[in-house]
Amino acid sequence: MVKVSNEGVWIIKGRDILESHTGNPDLGRKETIASKILLKHHTGTMAGALPEELNLKFDSLISHDITYVNIIQTAKASGLKEFPIPYTLTNCHNSLCAVGGTINADDHIFGLSAARRYGGIFVPPHLAVIHSYAREELAACGKMILGSDSHTRYGSLGCMGVGEGGGELVKQLLSQNYQLPWPKIIAVYLGGKLRKGSGPQDVALAIISSVFKEGIAKNAVLEFIGDGIGQLSSDFRAGIDVMTTETTCWSSIWETDEIIRQYYKEHNRENDFTKLAPGEEAYYDALIHVDLSSVKPMIALPFHPSNAYEISTLLSNAKDIFNQVEKDSGDLIENPDIKLKLMDKITKNGDILIDQAIVAGCAGGTFDNIMAVKSILENKKIKNSLWLSKGINFSIYPGSQPIMLELSRNGTLSDFLSLGAIVRTAFCGPCFGAGDVPANDGISIRHCTRNFPNREGSKPGQGQISSVCLMDARSIAATVLNGGSLASIESLDWEENALSYSYDPSPYQNKVYYGFGKADSSENLRYGPNISDWPPMEALRDNILLKIVSYIDDPVTTTDELIPSGETSSFRSNPMGLAEFTLSRKDPSYVGWSKKVKEAALLLNSPDALNELLPELPSVINKIGELNKNTNINFQLSSAIFARKPGDGSAREQAASCQRVLGGAANFAYEYATKRYRSNLINWGIIPFIVERETPFKKGDYIFIPGIKEAIKKKLTSITAWVITVNAEASSFNLTVPELNQAERDLILAGSLINLNAKSL
């Protein structure tokens, strides 16, 4: 189905694969589509065939209402006067006031005022999912878009999308560069004839399950080529492309053809099309070979898209597979009173009962997917069916208002409504736990992007847990038709009744504010009571004392576990308010301990007060004096966390900024799951340390690092650090100083991007 080679390969004329060739790999790398686009956007010097480090300027930026307030606040504090490139603000995450009050709508008013003041593009709520809008209105062949959402992927349209934390967008708004080492470029060769019924999510899950665990695609560019691409519609390609984020790749790009030209023509932007293809002899750092004819309908079980099985395999081995997933979940859910109950969903005759079905957003809510659902339900002639009464709730979220408009015009919308399906406006809620949250112990099958723990909105810390499984819209429709018993589309005899799509941009033309190039400095930003400025952050001192306030031993820690999604998103315009939720679903004691350390840092000269907060701290400080033969040594007291591999998933910078506003100054890890999380840490002045296995410290211990400021200044690779226990017992260990470029060192030394830019001002 999917074969992976982690060795370099040559691909001749985009089709013939050679494992050995006499060519120069560096010159061959320049023949990839990705290299041509990257070099076009690189502003630095070229030393040799390829630069070791890229300095990129993007063509445009895009954010949604969970992230744009903080980004604009940071840029404003850093001296922003006007958006130098097109910046689109969409409103597809906090579209519902799930927590009550005005705070979500206040963010939208702030966004519109910012678009007017600085010259931006504002897309009102319910009009489009962020990535649907970008595909329809922004993507262009050979261009690059930077977005503050991890699923910023427009490669299928010939446009490289990169999802990052807000700090990287701030740099672009301030005309600074985006930096990264030259990435691996991996060929994803699609061949073979697509199997009937298999959809884009099936292909995506097959790829993710083959590469995620080994980290093959981590921080790489996935370049899609091959003779199998031509049979795939533009929507089909986009559905695969948006899911590449779950491989932990950095970006993606596809060869383009007449189907993509037609897409741009349909969207009144034919001039944005360019035929993209690899050169005659292109070299790739690895190869993922996908035989489309062997990709069967898939299902990703809790709690990751890579935990994928063929649906037929699950149905044949449900008890064994569900039993293993239940056991594995015990390692992820720290509340011993909470257990998945997948086994309870297996009936006496072996059926698997599903409670909820959703087709939604940038992955599922495309026109092609929705029309496939209609064809499946329609061809079975199920008028007056009782499928809804059999227990499954079915919701459809079209990705944009233009798609909704077309569904209305061709009769699909009325067909769905008459069948009892719920059709909602463009909203990302099901993808992050703020819409259609399933019931406790429920199973939800979804054509959306993620099924991480807590992601669907359940709260294990409060005794609530549900299970999300990812599937393609076609097999979801088959399951709905089957009365809520899990089914593969291959179990049905159906024909797709394809209807052509006619794009009508009038919903955008009548509602979107197009303000790029029209900045008006007289326009005041409009603040709601929940919108707050960033608190002051301290620059790095000569020496640092860190208390480990959380120790997470899971194999991977997601962004959603570092800072929960769902209803907490409403507080993301309030740095201190949101910080109260940090690690709340993984380590509820984290916030309390961080606050104690932060308060103690202000009271280092008050021993009595320290005894109240952290009784062991005076003894720890005395031990530092003994170790350095100087009782008056100056140090910075901060909190820190350890996690084996933190930062998988969302690009949200709040995973780092919440730690920072609570006084955090370091992460310790064996490795970082994504570049974007590591970048978030650095942009907020948090040092991303790497430790060798096993760690010499535990939760509650202190780590004293003398000379840390000098070590970072002088580019030292290692430094002696001390573990000091609460009993003031000390032992030394060698700590690896993270490899940083000059810009990253400047950020760490300044204490945050805001501090660095304020200093330059």
| Averaged pLDDT of the chain | 90
Checking if the pLDDT of 680 tops 70, the result is yes
* Contact of 320 with 327, CB cutoff 8 Å: no
224 three-class SS: strand
For residues 686 and 667, the answer to whether their CB atoms sit within 8 Å is yes
pLDDT at 390: 56
CATH for the stretch 60-173: 3.30.499.10
Pinpoint the alpha helices (H) of 59-119: 68-77, 103-118
Residue 736's alpha-carbon distances to 374, 467, 665, 713, 722, in angstroms, are 56, 39, 16, 14, 13
Question: Would you kindly state where each structural domain of the chain is located, as residue ranges?
Answer: 2-53+181-294, 60-173, 298-504, 544-760
Q: Calculate helix-pair angle for 753-760, 742-750, nearest 10 degrees.
A: 90
Higher model confidence: residue 339 or residue 396? 396
Whether 60-173 shares its CATH topology with 298-504 is answered yes
Residues 6+ apart with CB under 8 A from 590: 549, 550, 582, 583, 584, 641
Average pLDDT over residues 273-292: 96
Residues 6+ apart with CB under 8 A from 714: none
Q: What is the mean pLDDT of residues 281-303?
A: 95
Residue with tokens 């999604």: 565
> Could you say which DSSP state residue 287 is in?
E
Query: Is pLDDT of 621 > 60?
Result: yes
For the residues 402-429, what does the mean pLDDT come to? 90
Q: How far apart are the first and last CA of the chain?
A: 56
Under the banding of pLDDT at 50, 70 and 90, the label for residue 323 is confident
Task: Please state the three-class secondary structure of 332-358 as a single string.
Answer: HCCCCCCCCCHHHHECCCCCEECCEEE
Query: Which pLDDT belongs to residue 47?
Result: 62
Q: Which conformational region is residue 730 in: left (phi greater than 0), alpha (psi within -120 to 50 degrees), or beta?
A: beta
What's the number of CA atoms in the CB half-sphere (13 Å) around residue 674?
28
The packing angle between helices 166-173 and 68-77, to 10°, is 50
The structure tokens listed for 335 are: 């509340």
Q: What is the pTM of this model?
A: 0.92
Residue 103: which pLDDT band, with cuts at 50, 70 and 90? Answer: confident
Give the E-state strand segments of 479-621 in sequence order. Answer: 513-514, 544-552, 557-558
Predicted local distance difference test score (pLDDT) of residue 457: 66
Q: Do strands 636-643 and 664-669 pair parallel, antiparallel, or not at all (unpaired)?
A: parallel
Beta strand 178-181 pairing with 160-163: unpaired
Average pLDDT for 234-259: 96
| pLDDT for 386 beyond 50 | no
Q: Is the pLDDT reported for residue 758 higher than 90?
A: no
Lowest mean per-residue pLDDT among 40-44, 48-52, 120-124, 748-752: 48-52
Q: Match domain 544-760 to its CATH number in 3.40.640.10, 3.40.50.300, 3.20.19.10, 1.10.10.10.
A: 3.20.19.10
298-504 has CATH 3.40.50.1110 classification: no
pLDDT of residue 384: 43
Query: Given this model, what pLDDT does residue 493 score?
Result: 81
Residue 540 has pLDDT above 90, yes or no: yes
Backbone angles phi, psi at 744, to 5 degrees: -70, -40
Distance CA 142, CA 172 (A): 19
Does the pLDDT at position 366 exceed 80?
Answer: yes
On the question of pLDDT at 455 being above 80, the answer is no
Architecture field, domain 2-53+181-294? 3-Layer(aba) Sandwich (3.40)
Predicted confidence (pLDDT) per residue in 463-508, tens digit: 777 788 999 999 999 998 888 899 999 988 887 777 789 999 999 9
- Predicted confidence at residue 632, as pLDDT, reads 67
Tokens 């159906």 locate to 494
Q: Is the pLDDT of residue 303 over 70?
A: yes
